[in-house]
Amino acid sequence: MKNKIRLLGLIALVAVIAFSSVSCGEDEKEEENGGVSPDAPDTPDFSVKATSKDTISITIITVPNASEYRIYRSSSSSSGYKNIFKGSSMQVEFTYDNDKLEPDTTYYYRVSAFNNKGGESYLSPPKSATTKKN
């Protein structure tokens, strides 16, 4: 009986560990990052601006100790963010043109920065822009 209880306890522990290590994937962000490592880069500042009926420009101001930046986009300010850009820049700021969008539509963006150790900054607060009408 004791061996059966130990086995059940071990199975429950393995299930808890497996469940706690599941995430939403790197291309979709639903919530703020939790437990950002102490050496993670600062959250970058950025701006968004509609430049045409199908393009929004996202300009990111780079931060120290960041080796990569990611841009996430959603049609809602609160959820459904998907990774649309992953890249690096050695400049003080850089711009990514998110094109092939629908006219007269509002899009929400968030950004984060990564360092060489894999530390990710907190996700930025969302910013939005509306593509121009036809």
Kindly state whether residue 77 falls inside one of the protein's structural domains.
Answer: yes
Kindly state whether residue 80 falls inside one of the protein's structural domains.
Answer: yes
Kindly state whether residue 103 falls inside one of the protein's structural domains.
Answer: yes
DSSP run (H or E) holding 19: helix 2-20
81-102 pLDDT per residue, tens: 999 999 999 899 999 999 999 9
Residue count of the chain, please give it: 134
Kindly state whether residue 82 falls inside one of the protein's structural domains.
Answer: yes
13-67 pLDDT per residue, tens: 333 333 333 333 445 554 455 557 778 999 999 999 999 999 999 999 999 999 9
For the chain, what is the domain count?
A: 1
Kindly state whether residue 25 falls inside one of the protein's structural domains.
Answer: no
Residues 6+ apart with CB under 8 A from 12: none
CATH code (residue 71)? 2.60.40.10
Kindly state whether residue 47 falls inside one of the protein's structural domains.
Answer: yes
Range of the domain at 93: 36-130
Kindly state whether residue 119 falls inside one of the protein's structural domains.
Answer: yes
Q: Are 96 and 57 in contact (CB under 8 A)?
A: yes
Kindly state whether residue 16 falls inside one of the protein's structural domains.
Answer: no
Handedness of CA 61, 109, 113, 57 (dihedral sign): negative
Q: What is the pTM of this model?
A: 0.75
Higher pLDDT, 115 or 28: 115
N-terminal to C-terminal alpha carbon distance within the chain? 73
